[in-house]
Chains A and B, each alone.
Chain A
Amino acid sequence: MPQPRRDPASLESWQDPDARPFLEIRGVTKVFDGATYAVDDVSLKIFRGEFFSLLGASGCGKSTLLRMLAGLERCTQGHILIEDEDITDLPPFERPVNMMFQSYALFPHMTVEQNVAFGLRQEKLSRQEIRTRVGEMLELVRMTGFARRKPDQLSGGQRQRVALARSLAKQPKLLLLDEPLGALDRKLRESTQFELVNIQERVGTTFIMVTHDQEEAMTMSTRLAVMDAGRILQVGTPSEVYEYPANRFVAEFIGAANLFDGRVASADGDRVTIQSEGAPSDIVMHHPQPLAIGTPVTVALRPEKIRLLDEPPPEDVNWIRGTVREIGYLGDVSIYHVGTEGGLTVQVQVTNRGRRTSGPLTWDDVVCLGWDADAGVVLPA
């Protein structure tokens, strides 16, 4: 997964304990019909210049949270502050926040130019100023030649860019993006991901994006929050969330994970030994926090961190034997589903280095799988 290059200075702000958050969400809750908790006591701090993603399956509350930031839904409880100023009760038309809608919501009876100028007109800027700003915005999204078109004369990708220009035209302090790439086809989506990040870096606005596509969130964000059932399960940089998922849900939601349930057999410094019914050998993993013996835990291993071995390792830990059940050839990599003796199915991903039509293994081959102590994480069961 390629990562766009980022200004390293802006990456650090959330690690600095003295940094003043740009946006603070304090215990925000949204209850629909008095019973459904769409957003349940969410608190977040987001810093200037961040590209923050709210990631989750549909119905997890991410869009409701975004709409509360825009002022389109009222908070049942909690506060929203921008630069220490409480905006919880401001109506949408008075917030220094703009939103790019999933449907783009371009006004069908106005030209591209009029759409982009709409927000500026509400500010009573001079005609000259509006014209300059609209020109700049259309240039930013490379739509200068389409200024006189109506939205229904544009392609999906062009509409998406106009929507972006319109929401950026007022130079908001915070831009909210609701599934900004959701309506684009796959090819266009990939190139647009980079374009969007580049635009964000150029204008320097803080972006908060809602998406259900984990790949999109990983590629574009400085940090992301994984949401489920109205709550935030983990906040972190893409690599933190991927390499150190905080719990089972995150481990399975982001990327693929092989999970082994077991109990702590012994702990020695930053190493724990785990016995699992699924694996014949002990599992020894790095784990900095001490764990009591007997604690039920889950070991999560990424498919690409498991190796194919010719024979069991000499130290007799961290391995499993199984039979190849399925082979998925994806070109650059192959994915093997290995059925273990313990009855589990383990996913292994192998990079195809040489050019050959079939991988090193075929169906029903018996293989040994091994991994290192720092190849995965130990999660509370």
Chain B
Amino acid sequence: MTAAREPVLTSGRASLRRRIDHGVKSLAQGRLGRTLVIALPYAWLLLFLLLPILIVLKISFSEMALASPPYTPMLQWVEQRTLSLSLHLGNYAFLWQDPLYMAAYLNSLKIAAVSTVLCLLIGYPMAYAIARAPSGWRIVLLMLVILPFWTSFLIRVYAWIGLLQGNGLINHLLLSLGLIDQPLVLLHSNFAVYLGIVYSYLPFMILPLYATLVRMDLTLLEAAADLGSPPWKSFLTVTLPLSLPGVIAGSLLVFIPAVGEFVIPDLLGGPDSLMIGKVLWTEFFSNRDWPVASAVAIAMLLVILVPLLLFQRVEERETTDPTR
């Protein structure tokens, strides 16, 4: 070993210069690679995510026109020289004045909020049970929660149509048990929308809850018991506060997509279950009013921004938490 010690670095001025040159070059290469890594996704997102939203913003300020595309331009050359900017606020005024849109927004928020609470009520006991199951079972139970997510969302919503129909399975069962003598109107109602949302988004509630609950140090509960706290009290004073980040994360993961949901109110909802996602769809596809659809979209984004910022604050607190 000792004899084989060959100097890796040859000394001398020339070699020194060569090495420094080389070093500078490879640093530059490193920088180039780094720039490429950033630039590719950055450019893509600027072009296909940010730009489209700016275009939506722009179109929301224009008027509907019988043209292709069906809206008036925002910037126009008037008499060759002056660039005229016409900000048409009519679409927003229209949203504000027409009770349909306000009702749709409020109804979306209400349906999303109620569904979130329902998800929490069903999801918390499940997440808790999975987290406290024997460790070999946990992965299986968790897999069973995630599995429906990998199958088609549309088909899972569709499955409820068959169950809820007037001549569907549930009515059939209740009738034959003699509990009712008239088929209940289950499909095309707010009830069906709640059911559909809770059913579709339950896994998004369970996963973050499970993640915080399974991480919890169980000796904390033993310490609480040792200090004389009965189990129910330990749950309220120890487990629940510690799982709060999971509760918040799960609630937002259900609430935010539920607000903009289209498929569920469209397939399961009735005429009174107005939701803003469906309004946007109708405005765009049926009325072909692109400017109003754009204004609806921008307003929806603003509504969602509030829980979004809340979510970010929670996440920041999580990452800066010194105990982790």
Contacts and interface: CB of A to CB of B under 8 A. Distances in A.
Residue among B8, B15, B27, B30 with the highest chain A CB neighbour number at 10 A? B8
B23 A203 contact: no
B11 A85 contact: yes
Given A90-B19, A91-B26, A94-B23, A171 B11 contact: no
B5 A204 contact: yes
Contacts of A374: none
A96 B26 CA distance: 16
Interface string A118-138: 000000000000000000100
Contact of A94 (B2, B16, B26): B26
Contacts of B27: 91
B16 A86 contact: yes
Residue among A86, A90, A93, A172 with the highest chain B CB neighbour number at 10 A? A90
Contacts, number: 49
A90 B2 contact: no
Contacts of A202: 1-2
Interface in B1-20: 1-2, 4-9, 11, 15-16, 19-20
B11 A83 contact: yes
Residue among B4, B20, B27 with the highest chain A CB neighbour number at 10 A? B20
A171 B6 contact: yes
Residue among A93, A94, A136, A205 with the highest chain B CB neighbour number at 10 A? A94
A84 B19 contact: no
A71 to B, nearest CB: 9
B19 A94 contact: yes
A186 B9 CA distance: 38
Nearest to A172: B8
A172 B9 CA distance: 10
B1 A136 contact: yes
Contacts of A89: 20, 23-24
B9 A171 contact: no
Contacts of A203: 1-2, 5
Q: Is the interface of A mostly helix, strand, loop or mixed?
A: loop
A88 to B, nearest CB: 9
A364 B170 CA distance: 88
B57 to A, nearest CB: 37
Contacts of A82: 9
Nearest to A202: B1
B22 interface: yes
A172 B7 CA distance: 8
Contacts of A93: 26
A85 B2 contact: no
A90 B11 contact: no
A307 to B, nearest CB: 47
A144 to B, nearest CB: 15
Contacts of A96: 7-9
A91 B22 CA distance: 10
B19 A171 contact: no
Interface string A71-99: 00000000000111110011101101000
Nearest to B6: A171
A140 B30 CA distance: 36
Contacts of A90: 19-20, 23
Contacts of B23: 89-91, 94
B79 to A, nearest CB: 55
Contacts of B15: 85
Nearest to A95: B9
A82 B9 CA distance: 9
Contacts of A204: 1-2, 5
Contacts of B6: 171
A171 B20 contact: no
A205 B7 CA distance: 11
25 contacts: A83-B9, A85-B15, A86-B20, A89-B24, A90-B20, A91-B23, A91-B27, A94-B22, A94-B23, A94-B26, A96-B7, A96-B8, A136-B1, A140-B1, A170-B8, A171-B4, A171-B5, A173-B7, A173-B8, A173-B9, A202-B1, A202-B2, A203-B1, A203-B2, A204-B1
Given A82-B9, A94-B19, A203-B5, 16 more contacts: A83-B9, A83-B11, A85-B19, A86-B16, A89-B23, A90-B20, A93-B26, A94-B23, A96-B7, A96-B8, A140-B1, A171-B4, A171-B8, A173-B7, A203-B1, A205-B5
